[in-house]
Amino acid sequence: MAVYPSKAAWIKQEAQDLGFLSCGIAEATFLEEEAPRLEQWLKAGHHGTMHYMERHFDKRLDPGKLVPGARSVISLLYNYYTPQLQSDPEAPKISKYAYGTDYHFVLKKKLKRLFQRLQERFGAIQGRVFVDSAPVMDKAWAVKSGLGWLGKNTNVIAPKKGSFFFICEIITDLELEYDAPITDHCGTCTACIDACPTGALSPYQIDGSKCISYFTIELKDALPPAMKDQMDHWMFGCDVCQTVCPWNRFSQPHQEPQFAPHPDLLSMTHADWVELTRETFDKVFKSSAVKRTKFEGLKRNISFIQEG
């Protein structure tokens, strides 16, 4: 039986065995630095119509309000990068993260399995797993646990790994050894800011109400006419600020079979998308995150960028 120098080392090995890209651990304390930033971001209206961002302000900042007696936040990264592209360069574009099975389903199962192993190893510990499903500041915890730095595009960037990954957590009352944050390596680069089609980015801040992902996924109202020429042909999400990031030259193809695209997805032509039927939508996106925007929403997006 392998001997590990610490509880944290054992957890990190278990996470690796389950396919996670990286694992870091931070002490479950109040996020003092993030509190004023979040308040200012909300006051500026950068969340647009995402009113859920205004709720549970205290829970977003204090893990102890999500898990009583919380001592540790275990942050994990899961790679979704693929070099695969849609075959028709004229087709409306979809973000890489939504090619395959909805990551919420895939990662929640893995997190539950990991937490079960923690309970088997360390006894009657309490905790919860989180995959974008609760008021948890994923990026802040990933940075505090040393998994990467917050880039100028507001994505967490991991050295030698890039940023094409999902972030998830286990918050637990188990006391562990904690990792330290790493330094920022964006330097003078402004590639993401310069490339953003809508001007949503400024250094280390995003105006969510101007982001293409917001328009194509979160916004339920009609898309604003002023955006017609700025959508860069995206119908679901946007990968521009990641694609241009020099650190993503280190991205390696994921090894998750469930993230493989539906056989028809990448071969669909411009005409196929324009003529998209509900039957095709249900088949291609049966278990995809694209279901979030629904058939009507995707059709709205496709029609909008066609008119642009």
> Which residues are known to be catalytic?
132
> 110 to each of 26, 114, 117, 170, 286, how far by Cα in Å?
20, 6, 11, 11, 21
Tokens read off for 177 = 């050894």
* Local structure of residue 61 (DSSP, 8 states): H
Q: Are 156 and 185 in contact (CB under 8 A)?
A: no
If you search the block for the tokens 């646990």, which residue do you land on?
145
A 10 A CB-CB count for 83 gives 8
Q: Are 237 and 216 in contact (CB under 8 A)?
A: yes
Mapping DSSP to helix (H, G, I), strand (E, B) and coil, where does residue 178 land? Answer: coil
Distance CA 308, CA 230 (A): 8
